[in-house]
Amino acid sequence: MELRCAVQKYAWGKTGKSSLVAQLSQGNSTVPIVEDDPYAELWMGTHPSGPSVIKSSNEPLQNHLLSNVDSLGDEEKKVFGTDLPFLFKALSVAKALSIQAHPNKKHAEELFATRPDLYKDPNHKPEMVTAWLGPFEALCGFRPVADIKFFLQEIDELAAVVGKSACEALVKAESDSEEMQALRECFSALMNTSEESVAFTLKQFEQRIPSLSAEKKDALQCDLFTRIATDFPGDVGCWSVYFMNYVVLQEGESMFLGPNVPHAYIFGDCLECMACSDNVVRAGLTPKFKDIDTLCSMLDYQAGPVDRFRMQWSTVDEFCQTCSPPVPDFAMARLRLPASATVDKAYSLPVRCNASILLILQGLATSAETKEDLSFGQVLFLKAGQQLTVQVKGEQDLIVYQAFANV
């Protein structure tokens, strides 16, 4: 079944036709693109904040699942009930998203019970991000402590806003546990500093940057800092550049972000798959509510290189790969069928034992089952055990990403 999917126009999204999300939306919608509007996210799934509907009937996908429970896999139903456990997204990021983290399942239930106005569901939100169409920039997890110490020593304005006692505690820390506690104190002190002090120190550093040597600017990642500070003047999240790993994912590379991992996407296009939730705890780079106390208390303060978050894809055959994060809610597959390799034959996608959602990201093909064309931007729902066989058409490779439960 072909789906029509929700578009979210958050302020950080790329505008008009420059947005991958806007381009994809034209594949399953007749609503014209508004050039000045930001097109941030395309949601594919059943989450009530952006539910997909069946294109032919306009029936919400979730309603269809409730009345057609055989669409879901047996193990999928046993673990998750009669709904899809995952939410599949495409994102187009023009400027940084908020400094954020997602609660674990128990904490999500507590937040939903006590503050349903802010936290809309009781589910956790582990997620996997995959870069698409060029480099994708993000901040992710706390940097190695040695790096943070370096920045605190080199940037007086940062040390001033963190505070002398918190900085000294981090410098003196020796064991891993002492470092984690000291890092918690530093980051909490930063996030709880008055807005006036934050704005003053940011402005001081911005004014000092032009006097630095090219080598020093590079060492202090001044270009990254300036880009974010330009978009979010006076925001405490600008200083997070010096606490969190800066990572650039190349096309097709992926990261997995578990509960309580601090992160912020900065620029680029990506695909995201996550547990079916919209729970976000924020504390910077956003006009939305900043729940600083909750964020600082829940974060994973383990410090280290960003490589610990990278995911590897496994080869299924010469055309298909899969990636399985350490959670049951979701996994992903991707298919690249070269036009030249499939001129005279069709390809059958591996049959999944659970329901799945597919996104056509490039190319044109014909479905052997329906004889209909599949093209860029189309989103398909396959029930558990359903076969899809495709024949590539035209001169472009066919690229498809697929999300499904990991049980």
Which of 49, 40, 67 minimizes the C-alpha distance to 265? 40
Tokens representing 209 are 């940057």
In the set 4, 143, 282, 334, the catalytic residue is 282
Cβ of 303: how many Cβ atoms within 10 Å? Answer: 20
Span between the terminal Cα atoms of the chain, in Å: 22
176 touches 183 (CB < 8 A): no
CA distances from 34 to 17, 38, 97, 396 (A): 8, 9, 22, 28
Feature table: binding site for Zn(2+): 100, 102, 127, 263
Output b/e per residue, 314-328; b: 16+ Cβ within 10 A: eeeeebbbbbbbebb
Give the list of residues 6+ apart from residue 38 with CB closer than 8 angstroms, or none.
9, 10, 11, 12, 13, 14, 15, 19, 94
The full length of the chain comes to 407
Q: Are strands 263-275 and 38-39 parallel, antiparallel or unpaired?
A: unpaired
Neighbours of 107 (CB within 10 A): 20
4 is an active site residue: no
Catalytic residues: 282
